[in-house]
Structure 1
Amino acid sequence: MADDPDLQAEIAHSLVLLRDKLGIRATGLRTAMPKARRQLPRKVRKSAQILADAEPLLEHPKLRQTLDRASLTAAAGVLSAHLNDIDAADRRKGWWLGMLGGLAFNMLAFAALLIAVLVWRGYL
């Protein structure tokens, strides 16, 4: 039973990391999983789902004893390691660069189409 507060603290720490790194606002890991689904790799998502399934059982004194603490600790370690490696500033910069790249491509495609139409109509 000494491990239970540690597991609950690791789940709470994972929620804080999800909030800080991915911007997911949720009260529990179970409600955060659908929102984080596309942003996490498969292995990390599976570990987070293991923790989300165990979260309600940790609150019940008799059901808490049925949990495999070693696998839950390992799953929490995988999730925390992945979330600690995420650089939020780099993600923001990547988002802006992706948006600007798409905008630049659209402007080039429009210019090429405009020149093609002007040549076709005989203005150039």
Structure 2
Amino acid sequence: MIEQKSLIRMEAQLSKLMAQKMGHKSGPFDKRLAKSLRRAPASVKKAAQGFTQARQLTQHPKLRHQVDGPKLQVQFATLVDYLTRIDVADRRRGLILSTLGSVSFGLLVVFAAFMAWLIWRGYL
């Protein structure tokens, strides 16, 4: 069994990490967590699902006793570990490079098509 205060503290820490690393600051906790873990491995998603189920169980006084404290601690540690390993600058750099690569490839294809058209029409 786990106390509701410690679960609230865990939730606050996860919310803080999600706001810092992913930029998800508003909305229900469950939706922000799901949105933050879209690209996460299956083990992290499974830990998040267990954590949200424990959150729901602790809101009911009689069902609170069904929550496994050590298992919840492991799930929480998995989530915190995943969120702290995220490098925001690297993700931003990767997004920018991916966009630039796509645009440059498109321009290269257009240029090649234009050159083929010039050769086909006899201008070159």
**Ranges in structure 2 where 5+ consecutive residues have no aligned partner:** none
The RMSD of aligned alpha carbons is 1.9
Are residues 1:77 and 2:77 paired? yes
Q: Secondary structure at the match of 1:38?
A: coil
Partner of 1:54: 54
Aligned partners of 1:8 and 1:58 also within 8 Å: no
Q: Secondary structure at the match of 2:24?
A: coil
How far apart in 1 are the matches of 2:32 and 2:8?
16
How far apart in 2 are the matches of 1:62 and 1:96?
50
Structure 2 length as normaliser, TM-score? 0.87
Deviation of the 1:71 alpha carbon: 1.0
Q: Secondary structure at the match of 2:38?
A: helix
26-35 vs 95-104, which moves further = 26-35
Q: State how many pairs are aligned.
A: 124
Large movers: runs of 4+ above 6 Å:
none
Identity of aligned residues (%): 35
**Ranges in structure 1 where 5+ consecutive residues have no aligned partner:** none
> Which amino acid in 1 is paired with 2:51?
L
22-31 vs 83-92, which moves further = 22-31
How far apart in 2 are the matches of 1:70 and 1:53?
15
1:15-74 deviations in Å (ceiling 9; x for gaps): 221121112234443222442342322111111111111112223332211101111110
103-112 vs 11-20, which moves further = 11-20
Residues 8 and 75 of structure 1: CA distance in aligned 2, closer, same or farther (over 3 Å): same
> Which amino acid in 1 is paired with 2:29?
L
104-113 vs 28-37, which moves further = 28-37
Deviation of the 1:4 alpha carbon: 3.8
> Which amino acid in 1 is paired with 2:101?
G
Partner of 2:35: 35
Aligned partners of 1:30 and 1:52 also within 8 Å: yes
Aligned partners of 1:7 and 1:72 also within 8 Å: no
Residues 58 and 26 of structure 1: CA distance in aligned 2, closer, same or farther (over 3 Å): farther
Partner of 1:12: 12
How far apart in 1 are the matches of 2:88 and 2:49?
23
